[in-house]
Structure 1
Amino acid sequence: MMLGYRPPLLRILLLLLLGTPCMARAILDVHKHKYPAAAPYTPVSYVIEPMDPPPDYEEEQFAASGLDDKTVRRLFIRKVFAVLSLQLFVTCGVVAVFTFERHVKLFVQLNNWTYWVGYMVFLVPYFILSCCSEFRRKHPWNLIALTVLTLAMSYMIGVISSFYDTDIVIIAVGITGLVCCTVMVFSLQTRFDFTSCYGVLCVCGTVFFFFGILCIFLYSRIMDLIYSALGALLFTCFLAVDTQLLLGNKKVSLNPEEYIFATLSLYLDIIHIFLYILRIMGRVRS
Structure 2
Amino acid sequence: MDVEVSEPIDFSSGDHQHLVRKASDSYPGGKTARSYGTAPSTEGPQQAHGNPHSKAGKRADTYVVQISPETTTDDVSPGTFSETAVRRAFIVKVFFLLSIQLLITGAIISLFVFWDALRSWVIKHPWFNYSLLPAFFVVFIILACCGKLRRQVPANYILLGLFTVLQGLLLGTVSVFYNAEEVLWATGATALVTLSLSLFALQTKWDFTLLNGTLFVLLFVLIIYGILLIFIRSYWLHLLYAGLGTVLFSLYLVMDVQLMVGGRHHHSNLDPEEYVFAALNIYMDIINLFLFILQLIGMGR
Q: Place the TM-score, normalised by the shorter chain, in its bin.
A: 0.7 to 0.9
- Counterpart among 248, 263, 267 of residue 234 in structure 1: 248
Structure 1 residue 196 and structure 2 residue 210: aligned? yes
Which residue does 1:161 correspond to in 2?
A: 175
CA distance in 2, matches of 1:152, 1:279: 21
Structure 1 residue 148 and structure 2 residue 154: aligned? no
Shift of 1:213: 2.6
CA distance in 2, matches of 1:218, 1:112: 22
Higher RCO structure (Cα 8 Å, ≥6 apart) = 1
Secondary structure at the aligned position of 2:260 is classed as coil
Structure 1 residue 256 and structure 2 residue 267: aligned? no
| Superposition map of 1:89-168 within 5 A | 89-168=103-182
Which residue does 2:35 correspond to in 1?
A: none
Structure 1 residues 148-157 or 253-262, which shifts more? 253-262
Shift of 1:61: 12
CA distance in 2, matches of 1:97, 1:200: 38
Amino acid corresponding to residue 281 of structure 2 in structure 1: S
Amino acid corresponding to residue 236 of structure 1 in structure 2: S
Cα 1:116–1:270 change in 2 (3 A) is: same
- Counterpart among 266, 274, 279 of residue 290 in structure 2: 274
How many residues align structurally? 227
| Superposition map of 1:45-84 within 5 A | 69-84=83-98
Amino acid corresponding to residue 106 of structure 2 in structure 1: C
Shift of 1:217: 2.9
Structure 1 residues 63-72 or 245-254, which shifts more? 63-72
> Which has more helix, going by share of residues?
1
Which residue does 1:218 correspond to in 2?
A: 232
**TM-score (norm. length: structure 2):** 0.72
CA distance in 2, matches of 1:118, 1:217: 24
CA distance in 2, matches of 1:97, 1:158: 8
CA distance in 1, matches of 2:76, 2:271: 11
- Counterpart among 173, 183, 199 of residue 197 in structure 2: 183
Query: 1:114-133 CA distances to partner (integer Å, 9 max, x unpaired)?
Result: 11222222112110110011
Is 1:62–1:72's contact at 8 Å kept on the other side of the alignment?
A: no
Structure 1, unaligned runs of 5 or more: 1-58
Is 1:122–1:152's contact at 8 Å kept on the other side of the alignment?
A: yes
Secondary structure at the aligned position of 1:139 is classed as coil
Is 2:212–2:255's contact at 8 Å kept on the other side of the alignment?
A: yes
Cα 1:66–1:98 change in 2 (3 A) is: closer
Q: Please give the root-mean-square deviation of Cα atoms over the aligned residues, in Å.
A: 2.1
CA distance in 1, matches of 2:75, 2:169: 37
Structure 2, unaligned runs of 5 or more: 1-72
Amino acid corresponding to residue 252 of structure 1 in structure 2: H
Is 1:176–1:277's contact at 8 Å kept on the other side of the alignment?
A: yes
Amino acid corresponding to residue 251 of structure 2 in structure 1: C
Amino acid corresponding to residue 282 of structure 1 in structure 2: G
CA distance in 1, matches of 2:248, 2:75: 35
Cα 1:62–1:161 change in 2 (3 A) is: farther
Amino acid corresponding to residue 119 of structure 2 in structure 1: K
Sequence identity percentage: 38
Shift of 1:162: 1.1
CA distance in 2, matches of 1:140, 1:103: 36
Shift of 1:67: 9.9
